[in-house]
Every structure is written in C-alpha cells, then in structure tokens.
C-alpha cells in the first residue's frame, strides 16, 4: 500500500473554484489542481517503517528544516532555516518553523511521542510552492505550503492547525496507516483535524470550552463569506460563499455523503467523527489533549485498527481505549454518548 498524498483543501472545493466566473480565481484553482495531480503522481511511495522507539538520553527535541521552493515545484527547494537558526526576514519561513515546533511539542508533551514516527523523524517543510498555489500537503516525507492566490486563500502557514493537520497525516502513516478512501479515509482526515485542533489549543493553552474548533481559521481572504475550511463544533457551517459554495460537511450519519469524488468524500464525511471528538472533549472539559486526546492517541497507536477501518469499528475502539485507560468512569460515558449523538454505533 502507498502512503497517501494529503491536502488541507479538498479537491471538490478547488473544482468548484475552477468553474468560477472570476478569471483570477478560476485560473489559480486550476493551477492548484494541476500542481496537486503532478505532486501526487510524483510520490507514490511505499509506507516507511518507523524505527523502534527507544528512551532518549535527554528530552526529545525537534529537528526542523525549512526550504524555499521559490515559487517553483521542485522539492525540497533551497534550505533557508535549520534547527536552532535565528529567525529570518521571511515571516512565512518563520511561521512554518514555529508550526513544526508546536506540533512536535504537542506530541512530545501530551503523549510522550518523539516526532511523527515516535523515533525522532526530522520535520521538513517547503514554503512558497508554485505560483498562486492554494493548498498545503503532506507527501509522505515532508510538508509543503502554498502562498495562496490572495483572492480566496491567504498564506497556508497562517493557521497553525493547518501545519498540525498535515503533519498528523504523518502520524497516521506511521501508526494505523488508514486507507485514504471512503470511511477509513474520512477517519484519516478526521484524525488530522483532531490533532491539528489540539496543536492550536496546546500552543494557546486553551481549554475545550474556550477553543473555536475551527480548522483553517484565518486562511480565507477577508472578502470570503466564511470563517474556516471546517468546523468540528458545527460541521457544515464553516463557509457559505457565492464563489466557494456552502460547506458540505455532515455532522450525523443520516447525512453521510456517498460520492465517487474526493476519494469517496474523505474531506466531507470527516465531519461526523470530527463532531464526535468535539462532543467528547467538551463533555469532559479541561484541556482536550489530556483525556479526549489521549483516548484518540491510544486508539491510533494500539495496533487494533485495520487500514480499512470504518466509523463503527473506530468508535468501538475509542470506547475500549477509554475503558482501558480510565476504567468504568465518565470518559466511557462521554465517548459512548458522543458517537450515539452522531449516529455511529459503538457495539
């Protein structure tokens, strides 16, 4: 099986923009779709094996490298900042560097994990990818960020949860390796949204009740009628714009979208498990990474998930993980109630 090519902006949204009557918007979206197709074809790589985690002699530290593609598509580009280097004059480079660090810090401090593979995987990012590129992606080896088209999308390093989301695809790649299609693909996307949201909340020190639970807040141009790419609190409400269209995410299995596009709707149907996590986190209160996040992390690293895992199987695994970590306590009730609320059985 190959590692998926995972983007933050779903192809169905870019396809909608490519049909826009605004020539600048349509041209940028088409260029992004072409660049995505080219990058996807260029990196059909087998899943790498993680090195066996060992107890480090000293606290784990990130190994970050940021490159500049100089608006071309060759990867990784020119190295512009290495681990420990001073900030540069390029704010995009500095945001990418900080976002890699914030993601590393969440996994280390909240879960005791040394990078995405558990064994100190270097964190590599490339910024200024292509011209007017409206996306960010994980290609199985590194992060890549576009500058946006300044019509719909701004710089993709602006929201730290976008960085966390894409790096979390690496976490999934090295753990459950969920197949990027249909329900398992929607779970793959949801896990990235979950940990992307936790990266943002951890960096800001937010409790679950104070967080906005938005993915990609600050990414849209001010002219766009929308707050973010997705809302975990209220799937389907992140945007409603004449050019973008309306956010299609469901929050309940009754509204599950069956489609042949977007690998079976992986970016659309992720709203269902996303909402379940939001409900667990807010029911339990406090910092979301401390209990809800630990349950999801335990599931991902337990070895019980098959690549083709479906929603109900994942839900049952979260109940089992809550019981294993906390016993018959409030955590199990919160998890069971959340999945019932979104219409997913846990037994």
- The residues annotated as belonging to the active site are 166, 267
Q: What is 178-204 written as a DSSP string?
A: --SSHHHHHHHHHHHHHHHHHHHHHHH
Q: Side-chain half-sphere of 45: how many Cα atoms within 13 Å?
A: 16
> Are 11 and 262 a contacting pair, CB within 8 Å?
yes
φ/ψ (deg, to 5) at 214:
-105, 145
φ/ψ (deg, to 5) at 231:
-125, 120
Cis peptide bond N-terminal to 90, omega within 30: no
Q: What is 91-118 written as a DSSP string?
A: HHHHHHHHHHHHHHHHHHHHH---STTS
Whole-number CA gyration radius for the chain: 19
Tell me the pairing of strands 136-138 and 143-145.
Answer: antiparallel
C-alpha span between 166 and 173 (Å, rounded): 11
Angle at CA of residue 164, ends 59 and 221, nearest 5°: 145
- Structure tokens given for 280: 């667990």
Burial class (CB in 10 A: 0-12, 13-18, 19+), 59: exposed
Element (H, E) at 262: helix 262-265
Element (H, E) at 318: helix 311-326
- Structure tokens given for 196: 């992307």
C-alpha span between 249 and 214 (Å, rounded): 13
């Amino acid at each position: 099986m190959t590692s998926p090519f995972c983007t933050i902006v779903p192809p169905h949204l870019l396809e909608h923009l490519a049909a826009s009557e605004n020539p600048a918007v349509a041209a940028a979206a088409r260029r992004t779709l072409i660049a995505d197709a080219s990058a996807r074809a260029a990196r059909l790589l087998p899943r790498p094996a993680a090195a066996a985690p060992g107890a480090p002699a000293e606290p784990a530290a990130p190994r970050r490298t940021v490159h500049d593609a100089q608006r071309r598509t060759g990867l990784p580009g020119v190295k512009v900042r290495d681990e420990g280097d001073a900030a540069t004059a390029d704010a995009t480079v500095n945001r990418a560097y900080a976002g890699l660090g914030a993601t590393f810090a969440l996994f280390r401090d909240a879960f005791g994990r040394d990078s995405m593979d558990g064994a100190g995987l270097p964190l590599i990012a490339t910024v200024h990818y292509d011209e007017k590129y409206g996306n960010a992606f994980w290609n199985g080896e590194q992060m890549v960020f576009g500058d946006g088209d300044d019509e719909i999308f701004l710089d993709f390093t602006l929201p730290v949860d976008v960085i966390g989301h894409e790096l979390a695809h690496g976490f999934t790649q090295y753990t459950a390796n969920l197949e990027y299609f249909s329900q398992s693909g929607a779970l793959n996307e949801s896990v990235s949204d979950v940990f992307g949201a936790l990266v943002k909340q951890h960096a800001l020190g937010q409790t679950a009740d104070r967080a906005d639970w938005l993915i990609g807040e600050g990414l849209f141009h001010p002219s766009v009628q929308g707050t973010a790419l997705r809302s975990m609190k209220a799937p389907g409400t992140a945007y409603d714009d004449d050019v973008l269209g309306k956010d299609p995410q469901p929050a309940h299995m009754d509204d599950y979208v069956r489609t042949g596009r977007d690998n079976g709707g992986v970016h659309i149907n992720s709203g269902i498990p996303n909402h379940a996590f939001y409900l667990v986190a807010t029911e339990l209160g406090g910092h979301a990474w401390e209990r809800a996040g630990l349950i999801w992390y335990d599931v991902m690293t337990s070895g019980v998930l098959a690549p083709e895992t479906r929603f109900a199987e994942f839900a049952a695994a979260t109940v089992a993980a809550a019981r294993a970590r906390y016993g018959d306590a409030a955590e199990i009730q919160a998890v069971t109630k959340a999945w019932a609320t979104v219409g997913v059985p846990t037994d």
